[in-house]
Structure 1
């Protein structure tokens, strides 16, 4: 009855804010438009509806000047500087030496290494660096990469609970702590590290035992890349006969003359020389064998129209693409969230024209897309099978537009000096010293974390550890706009009394739950919400509610804030709940339900552990 009266007593402004939140949640889940653009729409809507929302235009854009937002920008830049030292790559080489082909060692090395690193460096680029290494490590251990990639993502998420700078939600929570809780400043750098260590250790134990058994082996350990993407019926060898239409034409001229949706990938001469289509202007000759990509129907139409002969007894395999005169290669590559290709169709991305790269298939959310590729709009987490060149591969690695998964890296490492494979920058000691200085000055209270981080960026650039161009390129600006857009929602909830309304509804649970149970309920609700929408949006919406609820219950407001912070930072049950989950989704060949099966028990285990830990350390 009490809850019903609260709902009936809502003001017009509260209804409007709730309606905006509902629309935003739908857009976040469906991704009809990118999440950062949804956030921009929130800013505009709140400002235009100021009489109802209580959010002025200045308040609507205040997220861009928020301490947490600026700190996160600086941390992206600092992480890029540390990545540039080569330390993480060097660690991957040592990791390979340690495992020695043993499955359990490979798993242990993956989770024990990734977790602590993610406590100090943004975990998204850490996972981007480790995906190729872990995939190759799985290959050398004779195991499916699926068995290691999900634990890799989960370990990176767990590591984010170790320090204030471990994840963006921690920094947002710190900002809320200083503004919403009376006589309370920002959260200290290592204030919750003790509980974070417990969470990390329990999470690692779970991943090494129950999680290991639950994680499926979706990708065969020794499968050829053509088999992995089920392309046997989409790749064909056609031979040029005397007088056939393609004779004397270049590949581009041939493709311009045919209406069939078939792409010629390479030419193999009778003397064994192979030319990659994107990197040659050779004219087609009698006897040449063309490797073509297209559906069975399209290839048959192309063969008949051009007067070609199909080599039915010659299968196209991964090896077919490794014999090119121009060093053509077949690679897997993940589209990261910060890639310039996100949102573009393959036709718009013009990978073939600009980067000598042809996309043969896309693995997305458990689905394989092998035809009509030019019209496919790329999304974060897409796994692409590409025919490309070593120079293009190097460009993608350096630009970060694609995360290339080189499964033969360790073979080359065994044959070369470690300084050639994973060289350390001459600036490594300086960059590490600067990063230690940032952490130390913030931890000792010498200066706020935002000033320490910005000072660190300044020193990185001043000492040549980081160029200004690389600094700006390192920032995931879509995340920054998302942050800046959802922060005003918290202001609107506070101004219209929306936080109080939600808090009263949740506080009503104290009629049948003890206070510890109410804290656990907040953790569970927040965790479920973070798995559906972004953790950033969840922490902004739920922390004001949690603090308000704690005040009404006469409970420790900081304990409730921490419950929301930890729950938002640990999203395991869906691939869209956290960026790193999305990054391993395609390379691991996972299905959506795999995250529920493996991440669900871990999520609820940590809910109990974290809630009890908060009770023991900070009280209720």
Structure 2
């Protein structure tokens, strides 16, 4: 065993602090990664990370390539290609639940090999909901498989996930062996087929039916007890006040969803509407708050106080077609700028011209004190809004719309061009004509020059939290190497597993990486585990590249928790899943993939 040095202890302390921050998330993980970077530089005498090395992650080929891939993926998304394919599949296989499952698995898994899997899943969520309504299958039966297979599809090529690109960069630095474009495609196909077969057979029976497809949204979100109609009495103290004043002056948990005045129906924006006698309010509130309102504010229950989905949508349609109201589910995207904010601090009603009726967080539906709840990635908001507002939600990258939306602005005429640019990037990189970073950046220029992506869309397309996370974590791997921390951990593994065969140690690295990836970032897993895996392989006389691949593939299988990967969070709310649903469905697949991937690596590359 190498001697433990003060530098090792400092780096281990930074790693431990980073892991705690990643798991508990008191701050967004990209900000935590930035804190790690600063700590490494400040503690340079022990970490051996100087300022230039500390910020080198921002100029890393891996970081720039990942940034470029976000823009290339945006070009495909804006073309509407995946939507067109999905619509064709829904039309062709709409009569068979099993065929629909196979179809969504094929679209998600195959597409995720060439573009980022996050936009793929964002497109698939509304598509799955449409398919669910046609076939009568619960969307809970399809959404988790879509997320899982998109993850596994990312193992097909170098550009399938940011994890692969980062792992290639680390592998090049440690063993001078970067990944080529299709270097591990054979193993990726094996993994993808294994996952698809499992999800289409065993997995489909383990998946719950959390969301009933035939339920109206009012019933699905348990809104019956929280929506009612009241009439303003002539002597009410509310008369003469604006809706904004009414809401600001009350301490009760209440929202005014609609204002009905004679044959007119008013919805957002309501703030400046003045209350008049005999106005009818559609309220979102609980029973206790309602009783207090009736007593104190001069209100009476309307003769027919039951509020249905038709009340919230059809009435406005009949009276003012240009302001038709709809109910729709909107998912807060992981990494969205509004994560950590509340509806109150966002001034959500006025900012978006929409009323939030309920929040679904996994299997929990939240009705009370919603304005005070901090939003999380994956939260599903039940909103009432006009079609114009809903279209704005569909175009806002902070949200994922859980229903299909007609997009006349899709650049369908650019489909051949966008696909050609992606294929050109892949071909040039695969033939080693140019480095993948140069090919990807060139592809960005081509996407903008040909009109597939507008200049202003470039910066919106990039998930900057991922970029900052990569840049912050890359120097942590360097510190592990320079201080000897990776070598010490590898020695610990070798001593503890001295009686085990190399193939068993390889499988153990896969399994351990997969497990920690379920609670921390997949990119963090790669940065922390690859240096240890390489040193372990060299110490036992095994093939280092095989160990690099084991860690890389394991980091793409966060199958046991909704927080392990952002696509899991994206389907968490729309599927109505509980935390344990991921464990029940994902754990058996995780175990199967541990065996399949380990044996696949041994067969193809040796150990």
Offset of residue 113 of structure 1: 1.2
Query: Which residue in the other structure is 1:406 paired with?
Result: 403
Query: Which residue in the other structure is 2:224 paired with?
Result: 232
Name the SS of the counterpart of 1:263 in structure 2.
strand
Query: Which residue in the other structure is 2:6 paired with?
Result: 12
Offset of residue 202 of structure 1: 1.1
Query: Which residue in the other structure is 1:292 paired with?
Result: 283
Query: Which residue in the other structure is 1:540 paired with?
Result: 527
Q: Which runs of 5 or more structure 1 residues have no equivalent in the other structure?
A: 414-419
Query: Which residue in the other structure is 1:471 paired with?
Result: 458
Q: CA RMSD in A?
A: 1.8
Offset of residue 424 of structure 1: 4.6
Q: Is the 8 A contact 1:531 1:576 kept in 2?
A: yes
Structure-1 separation of matches of 2:369 and 2:272: 26
Name the SS of the counterpart of 2:547 in structure 1.
helix
- The one-character-per-residue Cα deviations of 1:385-432 (angstroms, maximum 9, x if unpaired) are 11222111111211212111126x6xxx8xxxxxx7695532222222
Query: Which residue in the other structure is 1:425 paired with?
Result: 412
| Aligned mate of 1:577, from 539, 564, 567 | 564
Query: Which residue in the other structure is 1:26 paired with?
Result: 20
Q: Is the 8 A contact 2:268 2:354 kept in 1?
A: no
Query: Which residue in the other structure is 2:366 paired with?
Result: 369
TM norm structure 2: 0.96
**Alignment of 1:597 onto 2:568:** no
| Aligned mate of 2:336, from 336, 339, 346 | 339
Query: Which residue in the other structure is 2:206 paired with?
Result: 214
Offset of residue 143 of structure 1: 1.7
Offset of residue 315 of structure 1: 2.0
Offset of residue 524 of structure 1: 0.5
Alignment of 1:357-506 (within 5 A): 357-406=354-403, 424-506=411-493
Q: Is the 8 A contact 1:101 1:142 kept in 2?
A: no
Q: Is the 8 A contact 2:284 2:357 kept in 1?
A: yes
**Alignment of 1:618 onto 2:605:** yes
Offset of residue 535 of structure 1: 0.4
Query: Which residue in the other structure is 2:246 paired with?
Result: 254
Q: Is the 8 A contact 1:224 1:317 kept in 2?
A: no
Q: Is the 8 A contact 2:243 2:270 kept in 1?
A: no
Offset of residue 86 of structure 1: 1.0
| Aligned mate of 2:257, from 242, 256, 265 | 265
Structure-2 separation of matches of 1:614 and 1:275: 63
| Aligned mate of 1:159, from 153, 162, 174 | 153
| Aligned mate of 1:586, from 573, 597, 604 | 573
Structure-2 separation of matches of 1:538 and 1:169: 9
Offset of residue 85 of structure 1: 0.8
Q: Is the 8 A contact 1:90 1:423 kept in 2?
A: no
Structure-1 separation of matches of 2:456 and 2:374: 28
Structure-2 separation of matches of 1:397 and 1:470: 15
| Aligned mate of 1:276, from 267, 270, 276 | 267
Offset of residue 286 of structure 1: 4.0
- The one-character-per-residue Cα deviations of 1:75-97 (angstroms, maximum 9, x if unpaired) are 00110111111101111211210
Offset of residue 257 of structure 1: 4.5
Offset of residue 285 of structure 1: 4.3
Total equivalences in the alignment = 601
Offset of residue 297 of structure 1: 1.5
Structure-2 separation of matches of 1:257 and 1:178: 62
Structure-1 separation of matches of 2:253 and 2:505: 59
Structure-1 separation of matches of 2:568 and 2:265: 38
Structure-2 separation of matches of 1:143 and 1:277: 34
Offset of residue 241 of structure 1: 3.1
Structure-2 separation of matches of 1:114 and 1:125: 10
Query: Which residue in the other structure is 2:97 paired with?
Result: 103
- The one-character-per-residue Cα deviations of 1:277-329 (angstroms, maximum 9, x if unpaired) are 42585544444321101222112211222221114753222222112232122
Name the SS of the counterpart of 1:511 in structure 2.
coil
| Aligned mate of 1:527, from 492, 511, 514 | 514
Query: Which residue in the other structure is 1:93 paired with?
Result: 87
| Aligned mate of 1:194, from 179, 186, 197 | 186
Query: Which residue in the other structure is 1:303 paired with?
Result: 294
